């Protein structure tokens, strides 16, 4: 299966939908439960950041702002960092949010953010994600 998008994403919602499709393709629909391990889902997220086309400049967080954003978040509480990363994912896309999480330099934050993304992408109802 090709885990690289065919073209750059045009919006954060398109990025989320594509990622959700990648994750859902690894689940068992007849059981209505994911058979995808968290580690496998994290690999898909990693591959998206490493190999995906860059998101459209119309919504992505510019690389020059990634480090600034990460530095501004370093002193925040753990849950505030995760909440802010989720907000970045919604507004600027998952790729931008993952880049910020990596730039924070705390592997625990990155791991927790991956876990939170996976929970949202695998289990969040589509109606909740499109109502924002």
Domain boundaries, the chain: 12-126
Least confident of 61-65, 92-96, 103-107, 124-128: 124-128
- More confident of the two residues 54 and 92: 92
Reported as a pLDDT band with limits 50, 70 and 90, residue 55 is low
Reported as a pLDDT band with limits 50, 70 and 90, residue 5 is low
CA separation for the pair 2, 29 (Å, rounded): 20
Burial of 44 (0-12, 13-18, 19+ CB in 10 A): middle
Range 21-27 contact pairs with CB under 8 angstroms and sequence separation of 24 or more:
22/48, 23/118, 23/121, 23/122, 24/122, 25/1, 27/122
pLDDT at 56 over 90: no
pLDDT at 78 over 70: yes
CA separation for the pair 105, 107 (Å, rounded): 6
Its pTM surpasses 0.75:
no
Q: What are phi and psi of 17, to 5 degrees?
A: -65, -40
Q: Do residues 4 and 52 make contact, with C-beta atoms less than 8 angstroms apart?
A: yes
- More confident of the two residues 103 and 36: 103
pLDDT at 112: 92
Burial of 77 (0-12, 13-18, 19+ CB in 10 A): exposed
């Amino acid at each position: 299966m090709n885990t690289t998008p065919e073209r750059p994403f045009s919006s954060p919602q398109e990025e989320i939908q594509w990622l959700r499709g990648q994750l859902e393709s690894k689940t068992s629909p007849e059981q209505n439960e994911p058979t995808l391990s968290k580690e496998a889902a994290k690999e898909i997220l990693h591959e998206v950041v490493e190999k995906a086309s860059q998101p459209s400049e119309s919504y992505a967080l510019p690389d020059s702002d990634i480090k600034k954003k990460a530095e501004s978040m370093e002193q925040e509480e753990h849950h505030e960092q995760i909440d802010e990363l989720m907000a970045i994912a919604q507004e600027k896309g998952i790729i931008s949010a993952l880049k910020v999480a990596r730039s924070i330099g705390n592997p625990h934050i990155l791991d927790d953010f991956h876990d939170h993304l996976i929970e949202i992408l695998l289990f969040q109802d589509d109606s909740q994600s499109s109502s924002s």
